[in-house]
């Protein structure tokens, strides 16, 4: 069962874009499973901070999509309107 306590414990993401060279398989087929879930726990402020390396190069979502298999085709474009 993929749900426990009405929460998803496994999520699968499959891209609409396919690889024509491999029998039309999706370019992205990702499954994530949660093994330990705690509900309504108090989080410390440090849980929301990150250490960014000094040599990091900024990247937009557009840059990321153009760099590889995340590139969205016309039919796979997000339905979310940009702000």
Q: What is the pLDDT of residues 5-48, one digit of tens each?
A: 788 889 899 988 888 887 888 888 899 998 888 888 999 999 99
Query: Distance between CA 72 and CA 67 in Å, rounded?
Result: 11
What is the pTM for the complete model shown?
0.42
Place of tokens 């306590």: 5
**Which tokens go with 4?**
């426990």
CA 80 to chain centre: 15
Cβ atoms of 17 and 72 within 8 Å: the answer is yes
């Amino acid at each position: 069962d993929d749900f426990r306590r009405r929460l998803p414990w496994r999520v699968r993401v499959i891209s609409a874009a396919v690889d024509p060279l491999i029998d039309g398989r999706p370019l992205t087929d990702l499954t994530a499973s949660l093994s330990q879930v705690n509900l309504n726990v108090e989080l410390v402020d440090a849980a929301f901070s990150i250490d960014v390396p000094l040599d990091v190069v900024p990247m937009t979502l557009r840059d990321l999509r153009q760099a590889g298999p995340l590139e969205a085709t016309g039919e796979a474009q997000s339905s979310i309107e940009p702000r």
